[in-house]
A and B are shown apart, each in its own frame.
Chain A
Amino acid sequence: MKYKDFNHWELAEDAYFVNWVLRPNKHADKFWKQFLADHPEKSEDVLLAREIVTNIRYSDKPRLNDTEYNDLFERIISTKRSKRPSNVFYVREAQYRWVRYVAAVTLVLASAILYNQYWLSSHPSDEKTIQTLVKESPRGSKLTAVLSDGSKVKLNAGSKITYPKEFSDTLRLIYLTGEAFFEVESDPARPFRVKSDKVNAEVLGTSFNVRAYPDDRKISVAVAEGKVKVTNADQSTVRFEHTLLPFQESEINVQSNQVVKRELQDDMIFAWTNWKLVFKEEPLSLILKKLERWYGVEFELKGAIKTSETYSGSFDNDPLKVVLEVLTSQDAFDYEIQGRKILITSKY
């Protein structure tokens, strides 16, 4: 028997031995038991060889986090559902590349909107034929809509999109107030543009997130994947043009009228599309505003409450009561639910 002259390194290299260690089966078990019975002096080598075989691993093997895990699965499943025309192989491949560009764009709209003006100025010739649709997701609710080109839109609480029933041949234009996540069907011939009165974000085929709440002070465009062109949309806003790559963000401060381009440190900005409520070092004032939209409630503050105090935390679409319990558990204030109104009172 050849194995009696093997040391542990030679055993660790032997396919029959390795196979036994990694995929044990009755036959191999029997063989190696017999071998050890015949050659008891080899038991140390067999043990060491087993150790070598089972102790080699990747020193760095990255894993998907929960959000990425779920997002990727959803992307794959939605690929399955959207029926793709069976084009010639490489044509389909080329188009598919576009779908893969996922961008998340966040716009925060600071003032009231006159979307009709945009609509008419962008589409003077289509004016008569346009039948405009409005999808609205009131405070405290979320919804998903499918557009005529097959693109999907997730609408966050307190948000609204306005778009033509049929898009034109040259442009797919959507007007948004609030926050939405777009999964755009590929169509290089018809750019997909999301408009607000301060910023435009344009892509050819992508998935992206837009936040444009009228009562927020900051407009932000943030990209998760792909490439998005961001420009100012009106003359009163500072003139700029940014091409954003993954994990880059343009933020426009409406009050000071300044624009910065920066790198995102995490994917927190996209968390809501998984129905996750995430705060990262955010002042209480902003957190309460977000909770008002998310749960469709209103807060009333009484007493000395420091709304500039910052908090971090994350919730998986938990009931409001859970969030309130956590928020008030370690702090100086109490809450009281009065229907859709929530009273926050200072303990001191």
Chain B
Amino acid sequence: MKVFSESSITSNGELKKTTSSRKLSHQEIVQGLEQGDESVLGYIYHRYVQDMFGFGSQFTRDRELVKDSIHEVFASLIARRQSLEKIRSIKSYLFAAVYHRIIYDIKKNTTFKNKNQKNNYREFNIEFSVQNRLIMEESNREKLNKIKSAIKNIGARQRQAILHYYYDGFVHEEIAMIMGLKNAHSVTKLISRGLKAIRESIAVVVVLFMTDLG
């Protein structure tokens, strides 16, 4: 088999052109949506769709399901089924909506046999790229892998809260909304416990590392 070239034209070049590079304020976004401004819709899509997809994919490996859910969320934004005034932050609203949509679809598609089984699938695996400053040299791959597996042992909801906080940049109230938690305090507890587990797992590795040296 011979392989000949891949065309270099980017297929979303045209989509990108229509998007303004200027960052829109929350108010501009809400107003644009209320007026049915298509460019605002495009703005939201280009800005958040990859994050929405990455987030949704933590609950299922079914790419089509995640895409359908994203489609639904936008359709509902367009149809203004949700009162837009209530949306305080667009990104956390989009995440929460995608989550609800996916869970709804998964429940719907679950066969009778395992209907009683709750779907608890949550990926949210954390990658913590520890710099040498913190514990060790980068070259120590084996140890890094140990950290990775230790991080996996942290509860899924703790991992989710940690990723939302440190990676997605949500504040506690937003995380509570996305995860369906009572209040910000519950989020604080989740993050605190998760961080403690990461800290302990690193401590274990450091001990191992020292033992190796000794």
Contacts and interface: CB of A to CB of B under 8 A. Distances in A.
Partners in one complex: yes
Contacts of B57: 60-62
A61 to B, nearest CB: 4
B181 interface: no
A17 to B, nearest CB: 12
Interface residues of B, number: 59
Contact of A75 (B4, B12, B71, B130): B71
A100 B50 contact: no
Contact of A316 (B11, B41, B50, B131): B11
B213 interface: no
Interface residues on A, range: 35 or more
A167 B58 CA distance: 43
Contacts of B58: 58
Interface stretch (B22-30, B89-97, B118-126): B118-126
B74 A79 contact: yes
Contacts of B54: 58, 61-63
A5 interface: no
A76 B45 CA distance: 9
Interface in B44-101: 45, 49-50, 53-54, 57-58, 63-64, 67-68, 70-72, 74-75, 78-79, 81
Pick the most buried of B7, B12, B70, B167: most chain A CB atoms within 10 A of its CB: B7
B130 A70 contact: no
B41 A58 contact: no
Interface in B2-32: 2-7, 9-12, 15
Contacts of A274: 11
A73 interface: yes
Nearest to A331: B2
Contact of A326 (B5, B72, B148, B171): B5
A313 B2 CA distance: 9
B50 A246 contact: no
B133 A47 contact: yes
A75 B49 CA distance: 13
B67 A58 contact: no
B53 A62 contact: yes
Pick the most buried of B4, B126, B130: most chain A CB atoms within 10 A of its CB: B4
B126 A13 contact: no
A77 B165 CA distance: 32
Interface of A: 9, 12-13, 15, 18-19, 22-23, 47-48, 51-64, 66-70, 72-73, 75-77, 79-80, 84, 89, 96, 100, 102, 224-225, 246, 274, 276, 281, 309-316, 318, 322, 326-327, 329-331
Interface of B: 1-7, 9-12, 15, 36, 38, 41-42, 45, 49-50, 53-54, 57-58, 63-64, 67-68, 70-72, 74-75, 78-79, 81, 123-131, 133-134, 148, 162-163, 165-167, 169, 171-172, 191-192, 195, 199
Given A13-B191, A51-B134, 14 more contacts: A48-B133, A48-B134, A58-B125, A62-B53, A63-B54, A66-B12, A73-B45, A76-B78, A309-B2, A314-B6, A316-B7, A318-B9, A322-B7, A331-B2
Closest 4 CB pairs of A and B: A59-B127, A61-B54, A59-B125, A56-B166
22 contacts: A13-B191, A48-B133, A55-B130, A55-B131, A56-B128, A58-B125, A58-B126, A60-B125, A62-B57, A64-B53, A69-B15, A79-B75, A80-B36, A80-B38, A96-B75, A100-B68, A311-B3, A313-B4, A314-B6, A316-B9, A326-B5, A330-B4
